[in-house]
């Protein structure tokens, strides 16, 4: 059910699902009760428990997670050639499980398994063969590191010795291109955190400001490079049920599919971090870099605009949904635009995974110190609580 409801869904041909894309085939060849087998079951049972509200499945998910830990340790001790990628996939699955638990508890993921994946990459990189599967796994680890970097309240994880781990290959697709543009964000966050652990000085703040400005330009360029059908379009038909459950300032944008909308939110999440650092550097440098304060005002306007853009995706992801659909479809209304109609795939899958797609972005916004209006912070809190109800997590 997990594979059918998530991995095998119709999506834009330029979208790739990272290591999840190769998981079904790998899982089909894995031995029962192996580390990859039970790690996959931990994720699958958690997801189906959230969709159906069956507490027994959630307990089984926890048991599979606990069972996977010693099996991974044993595989690392008895490492055989060719198994390293399977071990990394298991670790990434358990990292995803940590994200599920963090969503349930409204906390930040502990990232213990992401750290483990990075340590394993650093220690045994020379042992791995370069294959399409290994490249996909490396890209997934890189994406998780970048995801952790988004949001200044998130504790950083170590950067792999070789960074970035992957480069986009031909043909150039939007998500890998965004990952490349965002890879410099990791070094920026480390530089910023290092400076803030000391007494900030003008020379360091100026260097970070210049680096942040360059990264912001590169990220902004990504938004101009995507295919026309990737562009968000303002909704023209918004059912009253959707208006009643989740519009912020009456804004709602529609997309060709959820993966495209999530990619846009990744872009916005990255860009929000960069202007935040720029603004704090400007404050450290006082008036030397912004005599009349116009640059700071422009940064704040840009940042708040990106926040509003993320909020405008919530009705697209959640529609009128207030509770779990329990695997029954057709009970949730969604907004639409003339060139972005509500598709059958969206009505069938958004009730299952739409909330999962949007939750990390709402959590980052809620935890940020962006000076958002209290009205917006309250709205974000209500949407997060709504998602917990949808997934039987509250």
> How does pLDDT run across 363-387, given as a tens digit for each residue?
999 988 888 999 999 999 999 999 9
Element spanning 254, H or E: strand 253-254
Rounded-to-integer distance, Cα 165 and Cα 167, Å? 7
Q: Determine the pLDDT at residue 316.
A: 98
Q: Determine the pLDDT at residue 338.
A: 92
What residues are paired with 143 via a beta bridge?
A: none
**What SS3 state is found at 384?**
helix
Of the listed ranges 11-25, 93-107, 130-144, 343-357, the least confidently predicted one is 11-25
Cα dist. 89→36, 139, 285, 358 in Å? 7, 12, 44, 24
Residue 125 DSSP label: G
C-alpha dihedral (207, 139, 149, 185), degrees to nearest 10: 20
Q: Specify whether the CB–CB gap between 314 and 242 falls below 8 A.
A: no
Q: Determine the pLDDT at residue 7.
A: 59
- With cut-offs at 50, 70 and 90, classify the pLDDT of residue 311: very high
| Token couple for 195 | 């400076």
- E strand residue ranges, 255-384: none
Place of tokens 């894995």: 30
First vs last C-alpha separation in the chain = 23
- With cut-offs at 50, 70 and 90, classify the pLDDT of residue 256: very high
Average pLDDT, the chain: 90
| Token couple for 180 | 């490349």
Q: Determine the pLDDT at residue 25.
A: 87
Reported as a single tens digit per residue, the pLDDT across 187-217 is: 999 999 999 888 888 999 999 999 999 999 9
Q: Specify whether the CB–CB gap between 188 and 196 falls below 8 A.
A: no
pLDDT (mean) for 150-172: 83
Rounded-to-integer distance, Cα 394 and Cα 390, Å? 9
Q: Determine the pLDDT at residue 327.
A: 57
């Amino acid at each position: 059910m997990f594979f059918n409801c998530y991995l095998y869904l119709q999506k834009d041909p330029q979208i790739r699902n990272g290591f999840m894309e190769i998981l079904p085939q790998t899982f089909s060849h894995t031995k029962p009760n192996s580390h990859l087998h039970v790690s996959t079951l931990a994720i699958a049972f958690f997801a189906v428990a959230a969709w159906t509200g069956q507490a027994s499945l959630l307990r089984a998910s926890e048991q599979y997670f606990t069972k996977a830990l010693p099996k991974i340790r044993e595989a690392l001790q008895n490492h055989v050639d060719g198994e390293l990628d399977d071990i990394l996939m298991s670790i990434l699955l358990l990292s995803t499980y940590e994200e599920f638990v963090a969503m349930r508890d409204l906390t930040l993921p502990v990232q213990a398994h992401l750290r483990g994946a990075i340590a394993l990459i650093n220690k045994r990189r020379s042992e791995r063969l370069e294959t399409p599967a290994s490249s996909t796994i490396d890209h997934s680890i890189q994406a998780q590191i970048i995801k952790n970097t988004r949001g200044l309240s998130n504790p950083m994880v170590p950067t792999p010795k070789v960074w970035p781990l992957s480069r986009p290959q031909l043909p150039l697709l939007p998500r890998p291109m965004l990952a490349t543009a965002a890879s410099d964000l990791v070094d920026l966050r480390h530089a910023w955190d290092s400076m803030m652990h000391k007494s900030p000085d003008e020379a360091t703040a100026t260097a970070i400001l210049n680096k942040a400005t360059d990264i912001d330009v590169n990220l902004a360029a990504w938004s101009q490079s995507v295919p026309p059908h990737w562009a968000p379009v303002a909704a023209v038909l918004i059912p009253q049920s959707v208006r009643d459950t989740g519009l912020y300032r009456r804004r709602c944008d529609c997309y060709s599919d959820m993966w495209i909308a999530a990619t846009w939110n990744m872009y916005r999440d990255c860009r929000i971090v960069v202007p935040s650092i720029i603004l704090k550097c400007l404050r450290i440098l006082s008036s030397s870099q912004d005599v009349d304060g116009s640059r700071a005002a422009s940064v704040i306007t840009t940042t708040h605009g990106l926040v509003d853009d993320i909020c405008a995706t919530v009705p697209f992801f959640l529609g009128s949904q207030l509770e779990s659909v329990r695997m029954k479809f057709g009970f949730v209304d969604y907004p639409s635009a003339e060139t972005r109609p509500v598709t059958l795939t969206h009505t069938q899958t958004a009730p299952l995974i739409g909330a999962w797609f949007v939750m990390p972005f709402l959590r980052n916004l809620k935890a940020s110190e962006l000076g958002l209006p209290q009205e917006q912070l309250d709205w974000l809190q209500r949407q997060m609580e709504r998602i917990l109800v949808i997934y039987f997590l509250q």
